[in-house]
Amino acid sequence: MGALALVAAAIVFGLGALGAGIGNGLIVGRTVEGISRQPELRGTLQTTMFIGVALVEALPVITLVLAFMFQGKA
């Protein structure tokens, strides 16, 4: 059971980190695209981008908690 729990924890945390990386890339890329199209909205777009990045970064924290739960340490 111990080895299987470690594999499950690694998969959960790895996929969570991968998803967060992809999400951050999409958010920042679309923000840069929006700023290049309408430079006058730079402040508004950056504020929205930072909120989106903060929400996406919650995913790895949640997966870290799940990884510890799979190992039985939480």
Residue ranges of domains in the chain: 1-67
Q: Tell me if the pTM is above 0.85.
A: no
For residue 73, what pLDDT band results from cuts at 50, 70 and 90?
low
- Can you say whether the dihedral through the CA atoms of 6, 8, 11, 14 is positive or negative? negative
Report the chain's mean pLDDT, rounded to a whole number. Answer: 90
What is residue 68's predicted lDDT score, i.e. its pLDDT? 84
Where are the alpha helices (H) located in the chain, listed in sequence order? Answer: 2-37, 42-71
d(CA 67, CA 13): 6
CB neighbour list of residue 52: distance below 8 Å, 6 or more residues apart: 27
Does the domain at residues 1-67 carry the CATH identifier 1.10.260.40?
A: no
Task: Give residue-wise pLDDT tens across range 44-57.
Answer: 999 999 999 999 99
